[in-house]
Chain A
Amino acid sequence: MDTIVCLKQVVDPELPQWDFAIDPATKRQVRMGKPLVISTYDENALELALQLKEKTGGKVTALTLGPQGEVKDAVRLALAMGADEAVVIDDPQSPQRLAADKASVLAAAIKRIGRFDLVLTGCESADWVERAMAPFLAEALGAACVTFISRAESRDGALSVRRTSEEGFQTVDVRLPAVLSVTSDEAIRPRLPKVKDIMAAMRKPVANWTRADLGAEDAGGAKGVEVKDVSIPERTTKVEFLEGEPAEQAEALVARLRALKIL
């Protein structure tokens, strides 16, 4: 099974709140000097790809779109974990782009890579959480699509996957080629690379392409959607103490939770 895994590098989502700031110019999180990591679920996707490869053979290609100077670590980690090849598409603007825009570039890159049975993405990126990449790619590539899966098994030329749903899980049979988005699960906890794999990764091929190479022109924003504003909600986490007898306190809390749409 030949698999392409799309990896995105994001600013460490576990950064302390103090360190979190929005750059008014880009309307995105300040990246300068912040640690970058592979977006959480993308690593699960890579792990799943590697496990499938271990069972059925084939090749795993890591594909990433981002400012070339920044993505080295992500690519190195993916190769060390066991990806066979990597493709980097240099796009200094990518942190500002929305999924629809990036999907067209990634789809062009996947077509250029050529053969694939499966494309995997994370179920959501840790920063922008659009949850749209896998369905977009499926459409662009004419492939089947299932999102939020956590397990996949190969069954006579097709796949059987486990999708997380509101109620629990659904087992879904998927024809190939397919684009799947992956969520976390104990069984696909990203592996820690072995040192010899880290060394070997240095010799694995990495292709460097640009947006222009792929013929994707700079659309400068995604088809009629513009990010107008990104603001940090005033964390006036002044705690509101709910006073009274337990029953009154409970009543007050229920009202607050309803206002927050949690109840």
Chain B
Amino acid sequence: MNKMEPVLRVRDVWKSYGDLEVLKGISFDVMESEVKVVFGPSGSGKSTLLRCINYLDPPDRGDVFLRGVRLGEKDTDINEMRARIGMVFQHFNLFAHLRAIDNVAIGPEKVLGLSKEDARQRAMAALEHVKMADWADHYPAQLSGGQQQRVGIARALAMEPDVILFDEPTSALDPELIGEVLQVMLDLAKEGTTMVVVTHEMGFARAVANEMIFIDGGVVVERGTPEHFFRGADSERVRQFLHKLEELYGKEREELRDVDGE
């Protein structure tokens, strides 16, 4: 496979809900083993962008290519394409009636057509990857948020996708559970997993992002390496946003310290 061909190519994507224009022409490429961090204010369209990328919510205009094949083309099976694009949700969205192992095995079995036995084996390997093998027989409601999210990541991994999309994977977690999920994501990034990550965890971005994209008002306001952003962004809006993030997270850390101190 041509290493220089982007895994994912997002070209001028537009999306409106009624009169509300959420995305106004977003473009970027994601190369093999690249980690792209997308960030921006709440309501700026980050989740919508991810849903447009795998056509859960097809764009009004613009194109998405997965290894050169356009999604939404008449003769491409959208379910087959989605199977190659992993997705990890803010609220985990594990299947509530299935044990962890079955949450992970259902995709390989029902979508990829593996035998029950092979699907379970692959699911077990994926659970081991996120250090959840000991919890394989637990139901989602019996797991902590951090554990659920790791199963959510395993569910995406078991499909052996070309790219995984993460939608604020740690923002619904209690602060003390964020670390275990970020650690798994850091490991994946270092192993060369191709990832698009919507997150405000700047530590993660600094450690593994190849490029960061700041989105506001449905357009890309600024993009660059982590060093570029942390040295001082060009746009005043981005600088303000990063400053606010720092305050917010700084405060959170203090609160944590207060709790520990008691």
The answer to whether A and B come from one shared complex is no
